[in-house]
Amino acid sequence: MSTIESTFDKIKFWAEERNLIKGSNSLAQFAKLISEFGELCDHIYELADDITNSSLPLDASHYTNKIKDDIGDCSVVLRIIAEQNNIAFNDIIYIDSLPGNPALYDGHMLSIGICFGNLGDAILKNDMDIIYTSIGLSLGYLQMLAQQYELDYIDCVKYAYNEIKDRKGVMYNGAFIKSNDARYPKIMKELGLIL
């Protein structure tokens, strides 16, 4: 098993423990995906704006760490949506199959947006072929984006996982209940999940 497959399997287990797969639905997760994509767009815009308008030397690591996390966060949500739709996720990860120079893919943000739009439409229509294709293409374009910012895609996914792995809570009746909520133990017991 490759490092990326292992990391995505950990994400699946993490999501199962928090009832995000069965206790949520693809439309709710799609809303989360768009929220994460918005953060990614915002951080890329901030970096471009500072490059354009700053007269001081720019420390791009501040932005690339945010972009790294955002790429990983989008990938985490795509993993959850894939699992909710019984997609064999490891079959659609395109690591090491990206052609050519990532700098040639100037339209990748637009391509990610198009893929996400197609994914949302397919979720609404329950079109499994388009859901499958949209997730696969989205992952490919996220990998290209990582390359453009000289980031390792696997590191992006690991970074996002490490940020979330210790967060406790569970999805219940459409809402995420944090572990410090007084109802948490009772809900965990009701759902048959281990504390």
Tell which wins on pLDDT, 136 or 50: 136
Does 125 fall in a domain? yes
Look at residue 55 in the predicted model and tell me its pLDDT: 64
Residue 195 has pLDDT above 70, yes or no: no
Residue 173 lies in a domain: no
Q: Which residue did the predictor score with more confidence, 97 or 114?
A: 114
Dist. CA 74–CA 30, nearest whole Å: 10
Closest CA to 47 of 35, 33, 59: 59
Task: Give CA–CA dist 162/76, Å, rounded.
Answer: 11
Domain span at residue 11? 3-164
Domain-located, residue 73: yes
**Confidence (pLDDT) at 169:** 83
Q: Is 188 a member of any domain?
A: no
Residue 71 in domain: yes
Residues facing residue 176 across a β-bridge? 171
pLDDT at 57: 64
- Per residue in 161-173, pLDDT (tens digit) is 999 998 888 888 8
The answer, yes or no, to whether residue 105 has pLDDT greater than 60, is no
Residue 172 lies in a domain: no
E strand or H helix that includes residue 23: none
Confidence of residue 188 (pLDDT cuts 50, 70, 90): confident
| Confidence at residue 96, expressed as pLDDT on a 0 to 100 scale | 52
How many separate domains does the chain show?
1
Hey, what amino acid is at 173? N
Coil, helix or strand at residue 113: helix
Asked, for residue 104, whether it belongs to a domain, the answer is: yes
**Bridge partners of residue 177, in order along the sequence:** 170
> What pLDDT is attached to residue 123?
97
